[in-house]
Amino acid sequence: MATGDTGADGTTQEGDAEASPFSAFGEYLRGQRKSARLSLRQLADMARVSNPYLSQIERGLHQPSVKVLRSIADALNLSGESLMARAGGTSPGPEQPQNTPDTESAILADPALTDHERQILVSIYREFAAKNTPDA
């Protein structure tokens, strides 16, 4: 099988993910899906995207739109802004405090925490930040 070919099981062989600028995000997304104990098909159904498209995102072949990122974030119970920052997408909107992506990114990048602990801390952080954010 040539480098970059897709195997019968739907996984890619070495090559295509390394060449893609989106491969790091795809690996992160796959890790989040696995830590949530969801199959590719389950997450695709929850996020309302096709199974092949989600697989291509995880393999770094496509950069998802903001709408798809938000849908995936909701399905994984993650911050849409933090997922977009991971994907190299947008900066926080006016409704989100400027330091939120940095704070969430720091939590998500902390090697001393498990994926589950990271998700819990980000959820708690979001709840406190939302509670303490003045109405616009």
pLDDT digits (tens, 9 = 90+) for 44-101: 999 999 999 999 999 988 888 888 888 999 899 888 777 877 777 433 443 444 445 5
The whole model's pTM is what?
Answer: 0.53
Lowest mean pLDDT among 13-27, 87-101, 103-117: 87-101
Q: Which domains does the chain have, with CATH numbers?
A: 16-132 (1.10.260.40)
Task: Please give the C-alpha separations between residue 62 and each of 48, 53, 106, 111, 113, in angstroms, as whole numbers.
Answer: 16, 8, 25, 27, 29
3-state DSSP call for residue 12?
strand
Residue with tokens 């903001």: 66
Q: Are 73 and 79 in contact (CB under 8 A)?
A: yes
User: 119 is written with which tokens?
Assistant: 């998700």
Say how far apart CA 91 and CA 82 lie, in whole Å.
Answer: 9
pLDDT over threshold 60, residue 24: yes
